Amino acid sequence: MEIRPITPADLPHVLKLVQSLAQHHGDTPQASLDSLSRDLFGPAPWAQGLVGDEGGELQAYALLLPLMRAHLGQRGMDLHHLFVAEPARGAGLGTAMFRAVRAHVLAMGCDYLTVSTQEANAEARDFYIHHGFTPAPPSPWRFAIDLSRG
């Protein structure tokens, strides 16, 4: 298994994995080749990614989004997605992907890494705790606005 940065040629396969993750969580996938290309390779890339490649067959992907704590002078990354395709689960690929993500983030000079899971996803929660994450309860003072609605 080779873990490497996502390339533009990987995007059709990554899209299928993104769609699988959305369906796994009961969401309707809305990602497209255009949105992935824009966000990973456009003029202002929004994310970085790694893939787990087994002989040309992508079995996993991870997407990372930049963060910062300006007041502390720290850089960080949010592990937005870490997904392993169903047939490849249970063989250590998730752990290998996480280790590659960690090495990538450290090589970029980051001081911290965050991740979120759905409340009901005990398997993911246990995976992240096993790999050294500690729970960081959500703040009741975090807010959002949907800018797509005008």
Average pLDDT across each block of 10 residues of the chain; the chain has 150 residues. List them in order. Answer: 96 97 92 98 97 92 97 96 91 95 96 90 91 83 76
Indicate whether 12 belongs to any domain: yes
**In which domain, by residue range, is 116 found?**
2-135
pTM, two decimal places: 0.91
Looking at residue 74, its pLDDT comes to: 96
Indicate whether 130 belongs to any domain: yes
Kindly report the backbone phi and psi dihedral angles of residue 54, in degrees, each rounded to the nearest multiple of 5, phi listed first.
-115, 95
Cα 56 to Cα 21, 91, 96, 100, 138, distances in angstroms = 20, 18, 17, 18, 39
The total of other beta-carbon atoms located within 10 Å of residue 20's CB is: 15
In the chain, how many domains are there? 1
Distance CA 135, CA 129 (A): 8
CATH number for the domain that contains residue 10 = 3.40.630.30
Indicate whether 148 belongs to any domain: no
Query: What letter represents residue 115's amino acid?
Result: V
Indicate whether 70 belongs to any domain: yes
The DSSP call for residue 110 is: -
Indicate whether 150 belongs to any domain: no
Looking at residue 25, its pLDDT comes to: 87
